[in-house]
Structure 1
Amino acid sequence: MDPNLLYWKHEGQSFLSRLRIWFNLLDPSTLLSSDTEIQKAYALLGRGEKLNEEDGHALNLSLSSVHADTGDTLPLVFRPPAFLPMSVPLVVASFLPHSGVKPALFWQFMLQSYTAGFNHTNRNSSSEQGKKTSLKQLLLLAGTVSYATCAGALPQIFINRLGIRSASLQTFFRSILPIPLSAALAFFSVSTIRSEESETGIQVFDSKGNPVGLSKAVGQKAVRETALSRAALLGSTAAIPNLLVLLLKRTRLFKRNTLLAAPVRHMSVAFVLGLMIPISFSLFPQLGKIRKENVEEELKAAAVDGQLYYHRGL
């Protein structure tokens, strides 16, 4: 089993412990480290020696910058510490009340492209070792981005094409509809881009960390958990700022200063997104467990202690 996964097995089985770890791993300063430094940190973790406080940086570097299936360094922009600085401007711009369809489509395209790339890069790739990205995967990526872009811009498309002028209807399309829509598209993106894991299965391990085979049931569980965590992330990021602005607009201060709504919306989106990223990443373990009753017959014998382990991906 990969040393990163072994660490998650021993340290990341409770929500609070995972949350503490992710707050450390999302430090953007790790993005300044070179590939050589990252691989040295990964090798240090792989030696299995007990790490002291001085090795804490190497531990964070390995966990946040190395793919747990391949051992390769993740592309800079798709590493977990880059997710917040890369996604904040895209999410804020996507949630703006646009005046036309083209700006809405453009910012949705940028957001959906980045999240699709992040989902694909951080997937479980245990069944794809030694294989290059197939044409099917590329078409799946392109199709997912295209569909999610058009669906994400639907509120603005409705407003423009139907010529909606009613304040209450505009509020519904700009502030209420994006909440379930954002959550649904986030769930859809992960489920579609990582559908191969459900179709071919992912590697499962016994309690000693030995690989015992591929499981489709486990692949479906890993994809579903990650999709739910991403839906919680973007759904909450759409809900809290929009509902906050709707409530504040009823106050005397905001009625007299209507221009205050825009900066409050932008700052609250950035704040909620920054808070929800480590929470959503921590909802499910990186090294998940599944009971032997829920896996294929040929794998049950390997579950000596009644359960098997799997890398969920991110």
Structure 2
Amino acid sequence: MDPNLLLWKPRGQSFVHRFQTWLSLLDPSLLLSSDAEILKAREALPAAGQQLDEKVPPAEILSLSSVHADSGAVLPFVFRPPAYFPVLGPLVVGGFLPHPTVGSTLVFQSMLQIYSASFSFANRNSSAEQKASLKQLLLIAGSAFNTAVGGALPHIFIIRLGVSSPTLQTFCRSFLPVPLQAALAALNVFIVRSEETETGIRVFDSEGNPVGFSKAAAEKAVRETAQSRAVLFGTTAAAPHLVAALLYRTRLLQRRPLLAGPCHYISTALVLGLMVPLSFSLFPQLGSITRGKLEAELRAEAAGEEFYFHRGL
């Protein structure tokens, strides 16, 4: 089992502990570390069975935030967890706000969905393969295109169909994006990581020994990641509209309606900043699956009642 997964095993069982750990791992200052410093930190990780400190040491934080838990390679700079919010924030703010033309909407949605798909691919479970196949690259491109068009649908309805009814405009701008963005975020993960469910991912016994590849574990890993991404984007799309509805009742915005735009930008960024560690913490990075849910061939060869796998991100 990879050293990063060994670190997650005792620390990732409770939501609160996972959330505290992710707050440390998402620190943007970690991006200032060089590849040499990251590899040095990885070499300093405690060996299997060694007692871990209650507080996560800097070397462990650097390894968990920058090294892929299957290949052991340093993650590309923009696809490391500490870079997720700094890169995603402007894309979400730009992609979720109304635009004057369909073209500008598609541009922002395309950048948002391309980054989301690429991040999911870079942080996937790659235990069954190490290099990107042509099929996976086509899946990323197709996923980004389809979800970008889907994300632009509310603005397409308003601009191309000439929706003039205030009720329909409010529905398209405030209500439709919430389930739509949540569904598209989940779909993005399912498409990009579909190959995992076809090949299976490596599972380990309680001692950290590999016991084989399981499609059932892969389906659970992809499903949990898709759910966490749906919560992230759905909540981020919903909260700013709720905040705006409350602020519009205040005298400040009634007297200065031009402040509505900046308030929407700020509330979107704040909600996204809170939801990133929350969504990452919903499920353990070291996922588990019971013996009864494994394939028959694995049950016949492996001992134990609970098995573990790298969920991906």
Which residue in the other structure is 2:178 paired with? 179
Residue 171 of structure 1 aligns with an amino acid whose one-letter code is T
Identity %: 60
Q: State the TM-score, normalizing by the size of structure 1.
A: 0.96
Residue 206 of structure 2 aligns with an amino acid whose one-letter code is S
Residue 29 of structure 1 aligns with an amino acid whose one-letter code is S
Which residue in the other structure is 2:71 paired with? 70
Do the aligned partners of 1:201 and 1:219 also contact (CA within 8 Å) in 2?
Answer: yes
Distance (Å, rounded) in 2 between the aligned partners of 1:94 and 1:45: 40
Distance (Å, rounded) in 2 between the aligned partners of 1:76 and 1:142: 20
RMSD of aligned C-alpha atoms? Answer: 1.6
Do the aligned partners of 2:46 and 2:52 also contact (CA within 8 Å) in 1?
Answer: no
Matches of residues 3-14 of structure 1 in structure 2 within 5 Å? 3-14=3-14
CA displacement 1:8-57 (0-9 Å, x = unmatched): 11111111111111011111111000101101111111545556699811
Which residue in the other structure is 2:126 paired with? 125
The CA deviation at 1:256 is 2.8
Distance (Å, rounded) in 2 between the aligned partners of 1:198 and 1:67: 19
Indicate the SS of the match to 1:212: strand
Indicate the SS of the match to 1:163: coil
Which residue in the other structure is 1:28 paired with? 28
Distance (Å, rounded) in 2 between the aligned partners of 1:203 and 1:312: 10
CA displacement 1:108-146 (0-9 Å, x = unmatched): 0110011111000000000004xx311111111110011
Do the aligned partners of 1:207 and 1:303 also contact (CA within 8 Å) in 2?
Answer: no
For the pair 1:276 / 2:300, whether they are aligned, the reply is no
Distance (Å, rounded) in 2 between the aligned partners of 1:242 and 1:83: 23
Q: Which moved more, 1:239-248 or 1:283-292?
A: 239-248
Structure 2 unaligned residues grouped into runs of 5+ = none
Q: Which moved more, 1:239-248 or 1:265-274?
A: 239-248
Distance (Å, rounded) in 1 between the aligned partners of 2:191 and 2:287: 21
Residue 57 of structure 1 aligns with an amino acid whose one-letter code is P
Which residue in the other structure is 2:151 paired with? 152
Distance (Å, rounded) in 2 between the aligned partners of 1:150 and 1:72: 34
Distance (Å, rounded) in 2 between the aligned partners of 1:221 and 1:213: 16
Say how many residue pairs are matched: 312
Matches of residues 100-115 of structure 1 in structure 2 within 5 Å? 100-115=101-116
Distance (Å, rounded) in 1 between the aligned partners of 2:20 and 2:240: 25
- Pair 224,209 (structure 1): closer, same or farther in 2 beyond 3 Å: same
Which residue in the other structure is 1:95 paired with? 96
- Pair 311,255 (structure 1): closer, same or farther in 2 beyond 3 Å: same
Residue 163 of structure 2 aligns with an amino acid whose one-letter code is I
Matches of residues 239-258 of structure 1 in structure 2 within 5 Å? 239-258=238-257
Structure 1 unaligned residues grouped into runs of 5+ = none
Which residue in the other structure is 1:79 paired with? 80
Do the aligned partners of 2:147 and 2:188 also contact (CA within 8 Å) in 1?
Answer: yes
Indicate the SS of the match to 2:72: coil
Which residue in the other structure is 2:234 paired with? 235
CA displacement 1:79-135 (0-9 Å, x = unmatched): 000001001100001111111101100000110011111000000000004xx3111
Do the aligned partners of 1:64 and 1:79 also contact (CA within 8 Å) in 2?
Answer: yes
Distance (Å, rounded) in 2 between the aligned partners of 1:261 and 1:22: 32
Which residue in the other structure is 1:294 paired with? 293
Do the aligned partners of 2:65 and 2:82 also contact (CA within 8 Å) in 1?
Answer: yes
Distance (Å, rounded) in 2 between the aligned partners of 1:107 and 1:180: 19
Q: State the TM-score, normalizing by the size of structure 2.
A: 0.96
Distance (Å, rounded) in 2 between the aligned partners of 1:174 and 1:311: 38
Do the aligned partners of 1:179 and 1:238 also contact (CA within 8 Å) in 2?
Answer: yes
Distance (Å, rounded) in 1 between the aligned partners of 2:142 and 2:26: 30
Residue 142 of structure 1 aligns with an amino acid whose one-letter code is A
Residue 45 of structure 1 aligns with an amino acid whose one-letter code is L
Distance (Å, rounded) in 1 between the aligned partners of 2:248 and 2:91: 25
Do the aligned partners of 1:124 and 1:202 also contact (CA within 8 Å) in 2?
Answer: yes
Distance (Å, rounded) in 2 between the aligned partners of 1:293 and 1:55: 34
Distance (Å, rounded) in 2 between the aligned partners of 1:46 and 1:150: 47
